Amino acid sequence: MGQKVIRVSQGSPVVFLVVGFFAVCTAQPAEIASLSVERDKGRIYISADIVIAAPRSDVFAALSDYDRFSELSDRYVESRFTEPAEDGTPRIYTVVEGCILFFCRKVKRHARLELNENESLVTIAEPENSDLEYGREEWLLESVPDGTRILYTHVMDPDFWVPPVIGIWAIRRALNNDALTSARRVEKMALEGATPGPDSIP
């Protein structure tokens, strides 16, 4: 069966989840060469090709610091490292908040964090401790003349109902509304070599 485009309310938790993931990847000036959101049998497939004006090592440092990850996007209510897995793999906890009309909920996620320094980051959700039945998120980083190219993919199966309403444009609109603040924060981090706090940039 072919994949179909997901249609999601702009205020749904999934939209806020997607916005949170992409907002931390965007720097000023930034170019989103492609963005795709599809749905097949309840599973959501997200992919993007992004170029940002920051060195790869700084981008990697920002994306892998989950104790301060929430400072890069206002969509994140909480983010932190938790106890490592038994094999020593880092583990993370994040909370993203979103609303459907007058109903709001928090999407919680515990996940393993697999790191390949300056090359890639992969998070794998733990379904028993998350609001996702399945979740795998990956950033592949590549140095380019303009900064860093990010090939982003996220496959997830929420354990809550996703209303089929108004389409991909809602996700793009939400991204456009929130990208600039997060972009400035990531760019400042790249220039100064330190993750900025939420009060340092409007």
User: Quick check: is 100 in a domain?
Assistant: yes
Q: Which helix (H) or strand (E) holds 13?
A: helix 13-23
Tokens 């090359």 appear where? 119
pTM of the entire predicted model: 0.75
User: Quick check: is 52 in a domain?
Assistant: yes
User: Quick check: is 201 in a domain?
Assistant: no
The string of pLDDT tens digits covering residues 142-175 is: 999 988 888 989 898 888 766 555 444 555 555 5
Task: Give pLDDT, residue 8.
Answer: 37
Q: What is the CATH number of the domain that holds 187?
A: 3.30.530.20
Total tally of structural domains belonging to the chain: 1
User: Quick check: is 76 in a domain?
Assistant: yes
Q: What is the distance, to the nearest Å, from the Cα of residue 129 to the centroid of all Cα atoms in its chain?
A: 19
User: Rounded to whole angstroms, how far apart are CA atoms 69 and 62?
Assistant: 7
The string of pLDDT tens digits covering residues 116-135 is: 999 999 999 999 999 999 99
Average the pLDDT over each of 37-46, 148-157, 171-180 and give the range with the smallest value: 171-180
Please report, as a single letter, which amino acid is at residue 161. W
148 is in which domain, residue-wise?
A: 4-192
Q: How far is CA 200 from CA 3, 12, 25, 72, in A?
A: 42, 29, 18, 11
pLDDT for residue 38 is more than 70: yes
If pLDDT is split at 50, 70 and 90, which confidence band does 99 have?
A: low
